[in-house]
Structure 1
Amino acid sequence: MTNRRDFLKKAGLTTVAAAGASTLAAPAVHAAGRPIKWRLQTYAGAALAQHVIKPSIDAFNKAANGEMEIELYYADQLVPTGELFRAMQRGTIDAVQSDDDSIAAPVDVSVFGGYFPFASRYSLDVPALFNHWGLKEIWEEAYGEVEGVKWLSAGAWDPCHFATKDPIRSLADLKGKRVFTFPTAGKFLTRFGVVPVTLPWEDIEVAMQTGELDGIAWSGITEDYTVGWADVTNYFLTNNISGAWAGSYFANEERWNELPDHLKTLFNLCMDSSHYYRQHWYWAGEAKLRTQGEKLELTSIPDEEWATVEAEALKFWDEIAAKSERNARVVKILKEYNAAMAKAGRPYRYG
């Protein structure tokens, strides 16, 4: 909160709501000999950010050799996560790491950010879809229509599982459960009686302790242990509604365009480094903590019952596809990709 208060004073945020101006941020490019300064806020709290972004930002600041410095802020530290897009658009902050869904990005494809139900089975599906199956070009097209923001890169995070106080062993056990999750995932899960709850990220642990929440569907088991949620839940459901969270990096378009090409290249390399780190950190953690973790008991919903959830997801896909021509293109790619993976067989798909 101290950081946020200091930031608000310096940026003059309180005057913006009334004035509607975009005069908050100091120019990112300073006088000759002084470094370019950026403020980047991630969706992740401090403990999680040590893995999902901080190593790459530390590397960037070191490699920039005094030409540029990125100040990293954690979830809701300067701006509430749901307001990140607008804050970046008006130049209050310079860059964001999050999913499109959580930051309320004003593009039709934002619904596919975060956990779009069953869009992926493994984390490698996300970079494959963006870099080789056409999603990158669609995201560039969508964000190219929005003034002031540059979409930079997408990558994969962990799968989406339930961590709960009470055991989940059937779909009936989900009914009435108050669950912290992402907007689109929550909308889908209401079909099975789940009650989605939106809270600041840092409040989740306390909300589980006070009974405000019954569970969390925001991550895999690696994050449950890393951020402390495994200490306030008892069970981990092995069924998941997505194989990987899809998140992106964004920047204020003016700030990005001001960068010299070599610093743009360096930032691109550091984003790739971040994407790669998460691939092996999550992949190793998910298996290790399921088999060696001692805090959470594993439960499962039978495959034949869970198949009804997967079937419902395809209906959900078609509903999203009907909302725009561009969404329809994304859903078409997802269907074609998953059909190709199933046809390819092992190791891409196991039935």
Structure 2
Amino acid sequence: MERRKFLKTAATGGAAAALAAPLAAPAIAQEAPTIRWRLTSGFPRSLDTIYGAAETFADHVKAMSGGKIEIQVFPAGEIVPTPQAAEAVATNTVEMAHTCSYYYWGKDPTFALGTAVPFGLNARLMNGWLYQGGGNDMLNAFYAKQNLYGIAGGNTGVQMGGWWRKEITSAEDLKGVKMRIAGIAGKVMEKLGVVPQQIPGGDIYPSLERGTIDAAEWIGPYDDQKLGFNKVAPYYYYPGFWEGGPTIHFFINLDKWNELPEDYKAIMINAGAYANTDMMARYDTLNPGALKSLIAGGAKLKPFPQDVLEAAFAASHEVYDEISASNADFKQIWDSMKAYRGEGYLWYQVAEYSFDTFQIRNRTKG
């Protein structure tokens, strides 16, 4: 009897004590630091698809961290201009940037391989090489020398060949053309007689309008229509062989990255993967309607002549051989990418190409 009374009293008292005491917070919540970072974009806010990937990333990071990580996104030029974004991250002026690696190829040509090089990889092959072919590890070994850590954070797919004030009927017509073209592609086009110009996206339209340049490439129909290039240059060429699958990166100051807890690193890597997929999906959804609208508005859609493609292909590989002869980082990464390209297109030739070609031929049949 006394034993039963004791057990009942103890149980009641224990329950009361448990209710009275505050519940202990989970260990992860107690230990998780609060992070407040700034991110400078390489793009203006008006380009909602490519700029928006940084906001998508920030939203997912905040949600997955329970609000412990907040990243404030700033458009190009608000903190630093696009050409200085990577340096600003490396020196910890800002913790992060969302930009194209190839903008900094003048510092080291290896930067170009992080985004795209002429006749490189398409978007699917680029993702395959990055995630499964060792690409991320090789690029980050290079970025570490710049005090940066890179996470893939977007892809536009194959870009267009840009807007031209005059028709291009052969490779001969390229000589003397002043063209806005980014990255190592400018060096390739220079071999064909083009005079490359590095101009930020927001300055392309007035440069074309004034005749300061004769041609300009940006991305593709959706963004090009927003920027109004069709109003000042009538000829719209394809494909943009210099950007078959350009990757945009989130760059993080390496010291800041190394300080992060492992779960925070995983959150950022996964948010980057989502932004990477989402950007490509958005362009695939928005470009068809924009292209139809541009053509309806008078844009003259033209394929590059075959001799332009052949000449550019040869010039591209001359450039890569020249750089590889004196740059071990470039050679290692380019050799890996080139091998992956060869194997990837062997497979694409069997199934993807056959399927896509049939579907394209029959797309209007029901």
**What TM-score, normalized by structure 1, do the two folds share?**
0.80
CA distance in 2, matches of 1:61, 1:308: 48
Assess if the C-alpha contact under 8 Å between 2:152 and 2:276 holds in 1.
no
Range with bigger deviation, 105-114 or 328-337:
105-114
Q: Which secondary structure state, in structure 1, belongs to the residue aligned with residue 103 of structure 2?
A: coil
In the alignment, is the contact (CA less than 8 A) between 1:205 and 1:229 conserved in 2? yes
Partner of 1:43: 42
Matching of residue 332 in structure 1 with residue 324 in structure 2: no
Q: What letter matches 2:320 in structure 1?
A: W
CA distance in 2, matches of 1:201, 1:142: 27
Contact kept? 2:45, 2:52, Cα under 8 Å: no
| 8 A contact 1:165–1:234 mirrored in 2 | yes
Kindly provide the amino acid, as one letter, of the partner of residue 306 in structure 2.
D
Q: Deviations over 1:33-67 (max 9, x none)?
A: 99522110111111224543322323333444332
C-alpha distance in structure 1 between counterparts of 2:61 and 2:130, whole Å: 24
Deviation, 1:328, is 2.0
Q: Secondary structure at the match of 1:101?
A: helix
Q: Secondary structure at the match of 1:168?
A: coil
Show CA shifts across 1:64-99 (max 9, x none). 433222111112221122222221122111101112
2:201 corresponds in structure 1 to 201
**Structure 1 residues 243 and 285: CA distance shift in structure 2, 3 A:** farther
Return closer, same or farther for 1:156/1:105 CA change in 2, 3 Å cut-off: farther
Deviation at 1:140, TM superposition (A): 2.1
Q: Distance in 2 between matches of 1:245 and 1:33?
A: 35
Higher mean Cα deviation, 239-248 or 102-111? 102-111
- Give the distance between the partners of 2:307 and 2:276, measured in 1 at CA: 34
Identify the residue that residue 113 of structure 2 maps to in structure 1.
112
Note the 1:16-27 alignment, pairs <5 A: none
Task: Tell me what 1:24 maps to.
Answer: none
Q: Secondary structure at the match of 1:110?
A: helix
Does the C-alpha gap of structure 1 residues 229 and 132 become closer, same or farther in structure 2, counting only changes over 3 Å?
same
Kindly tell me: are residues 185 and 323 of structure 1, through their superposed partners in 2, closer, same or farther at Cα, counting changes over 3 Å? same
Deviation of 1:252 after TM superposition, in Å, equals: 1.2
Identical residues among aligned pairs (%): 20
Q: How does 1:169-208 map to 2 (within 5 A)?
A: 169-208=169-208
Shift of 1:105: 8.1
8 Å Cα contact 1:239-1:300 kept in structure 2: yes
Please, which moves more after superposition, 293-302 or 187-196?
Answer: 293-302
TM-score when scaled to structure 2?
0.77
* Alignment length (residue pairs): 318
Deviation at 1:104, TM superposition (A): 5.2
**Other-structure match for 2:326:** 323
2:101 aligns with: 100
Kept in 2: contact 1:318–1:331 (CA 8 A): no
Contact kept, 8 Å, 1:97 with 1:247, in 2: the verdict is: yes
Match of 2:344 among 338, 341, 344: 341
> Cα–Cα, structure 1 residues 154 and 119, in superposed 2: closer, same or farther, change >3 Å?
farther
- Report the secondary structure of 1:46's partner residue: coil
Question: What residue identity is the alignment partner of 2:144?
Answer: G
Picking from 279, 293, 297, the partner of 2:300 is 297
Distance 1:268 1:337 in 2: 23
Alignment check: 8 A CA contact 1:89 1:252 kept: yes
- Partners of 2:101 and 2:325 in 1: CA distance: 19
Structure 2 partner of 1:126? 126
- The one-letter code of the counterpart of 1:203 is D
Q: Distance in 1 between matches of 2:123 and 2:70?
A: 30
User: Secondary structure, in 3 states, of the residue corresponding to 1:244?
Assistant: coil
1:179-224 per-position Cα deviation (integer Å, ceiling 9, x unaligned): 2221311111111221111233322222222222222123222321
Residue identity opposite 2:322 in structure 1? E
Secondary structure in 2 matching 1:313? helix
Q: How many angstroms does 1:133 deviate by?
A: 1.9
1:52 lines up with 2:53 in the alignment: yes
CA drift of 1:267 comes to 1.8
Q: Is the 8 A contact 1:41 1:78 kept in 2?
A: yes
Cα distance change on mapping 1:256 and 1:341 into 2, 3 Å: closer
- In structure 2, stretches of 5+ residues that fail to align are 1-30, 358-366
**For residues 169 and 283 of structure 1, what CA distance do their matches in structure 2 show?**
29
Deviation at 1:115, TM superposition (A): 3.3
The offset of 1:124, in angstroms, is 1.0
Query: Which structure is higher in helix share?
Result: 2
Which residue does 2:16 correspond to in 1?
A: none
1:66 and 1:112 map into 2 onto residues whose CA distance is 34
User: C-alpha separation between the residues in 2 aligned to 1:319 and 1:154?
Assistant: 30
Write the distance in 2 (CA, Å) between the matches of 1:327 and 1:142.
9
* Rounded Cα–Cα distance in structure 1 between residues aligned with 2:35 and 2:189: 44
Going from structure 1 to structure 2, the CA distance change for 1:304 and 1:166 (only over 3 Å counts) comes to closer
How far off its partner does 1:285 sit?
A: 3.6
Report Cα offsets for 1:209-240 as digits up to 9, x if no partner. 22222221232223212343344432210132
Q: 1:232 to 1:110 in 2, by over 3 A?
A: same
Pair member with larger Rg: 2
In 1, the alpha carbon distance for the partners of 2:169 and 2:56 equals 38
CA distance in 1, matches of 2:112, 2:32: 43
CA 1:111–1:88 in 2, change beyond 3 Å: closer, same or farther? Answer: same
SS in structure 2 at match of 1:208 = helix
2:143 corresponds to 1:150? no
